[in-house]
Amino acid sequence: RDELKIRTENRFGAVADEEYRLIWDNLPLWFDLNFFRYLNDLGAVVVAETFSHVWMGRLDPSKPLESLARKYLPNFANCSVDRKIDLIENLAKDFKVDGIVLPTNWGCRMMSIGETIVKDVIQQRLGVPSLILDVDSTDWRSYNETQVKRNVEVFLQILSEKNQRE
């Protein structure tokens, strides 16, 4: 705890030249986890993500079915887009993010429902821009690395210009 406080006070983060704090929605690119190193090389750090929130929470072994229902029915993957917006909005505030990456995971479409709504609402409420990436998190055959990296670089340029204005 003390170490984290010292690191925070001295702005010593995971990446020496941190310029952009990002939320990553949905699954990572499982076939290219080095993508996150690429982000780090550009000064971007993923400080929060949404995927683990789908599975969070404890189960009560004495009430297994009720416990599963209480855990999974209200999570954002099984409800309206409003719950996902609330989660991302809270993460954005808590982690003081500069931007949000919203991959439209072709292999798990239900997790990608409402990405444009999320993008628009978060921009309107918090002024935090989002990048929608057209990718499949598990099928490398459809991955266009050049296009994805170009989109990321343009997005980070937008964040840079926004940060300079503020």
Does pTM top 0.95 for this prediction? no
**100: its two tokens:** 């949000």
Question: Are 75 and 104 a contacting pair, CB within 8 Å?
Answer: no
Question: Are 5 and 73 a contacting pair, CB within 8 Å?
Answer: no
Q: What is the pLDDT of residues 80-111, one digit of tens each?
A: 889 899 999 999 999 999 999 999 877 777 77
Q: What is the pLDDT of residues 42-81, one digit of tens each?
A: 999 999 999 887 777 788 999 999 988 888 887 777 778 8
Alpha-carbon span 81 to 116, nearest angstrom: 10
Question: Are 84 and 122 a contacting pair, CB within 8 Å?
Answer: no
Please name the fold of domain 16-165.
Answer: Rossmann fold (3.40.50)
Q: How far is the CA of 7 from the CAs of 13, 21, 46, 57, in angstroms?
A: 7, 16, 17, 29
